Amino acid sequence: MTGLAWVAGAEGGIGAAVRARLEAESYRVHGSDRPDEDVALPGVAARVAADLSARGDLEVAVHAVGMSARRYGDGPLSTCTLEAWEEAVRVNLTSAFQFLQACLVSASDGARLVLIGSALAHGYDPDFDTVAYRISKGSLEALVGTAAREGAARGIRVNLVSPGLVETPMAHRALRDPRIADRLGELMPLHGQAASAETVAEAVAWLAGDASAFTTGAVVPVDGGWRVR
């Protein structure tokens, strides 16, 4: 039997796909999400990680937590509300900080930790001008690099998957917007369409497996060419 895995944000589109993919690899997966296990709240991630490590070796942990702060007033820097900024940073970045901190304490030696970022954090596009989201997701890359350096002595690998637009409930508004739908060939030129959550989960599974044994601190784009357009 493969060991324990933890997916934070397991009720979301990508999180659910990651959970199913890891279960297909025979991991015993603990899925956490709001409201019962909100890793953005103080102490929750540390408690969950400690509880899991008490049950066995915590071998894989995936942070698939994320939110759009548009409903709080996210937008261009000149108009973004403080509420939107604070909520995006709390959910997208602070939760990841607490998650990685907890995993570095409680995960087993050789564990594989994966965060889900966003290619939308790279470059400027007027149809995605949401500064709180972009900064809170973009900052994950520096956080992953820091965690990878700290975890290396114990063989812990830390990497980030950076999707473009993905067919999930969170991206529903964007994908239904005719302006964006008409631009998919430009935004994601490799296939001209949004990725499936299962495609993102495949990248996570690779980072969680032995084939990526020499990969840490990496940003793995699953963005259909978003970064190179």
Ordered by where they begin, the domains of the chain are 4-224 (3.40.50.720)
> How much is the pLDDT for 174?
85
Q: Which of 163, 114, 122, 156 is nearest to 139 (CA)?
A: 122
Pick out the chain residues at pLDDT < 70: 1
> How much is the pLDDT for 225?
96
* Separation CA 183–CA 224 (nearest Å): 13
Q: Which of 116, 91, 105, 6 is nearest to 40 (CA)?
A: 91
**Residue 185: C-alpha distances to residues 103, 139, 160, 166 (Å):** 39, 27, 25, 14
> How much is the pLDDT for 1?
47
CA atoms within 13 Å, Cβ hemisphere of 8: 31
Residue pair 38/46 in contact (Cβ under 8 Å)? The answer is: no
> How much is the pLDDT for 126?
86
Look up tokens 């500064």; give the residue: 131
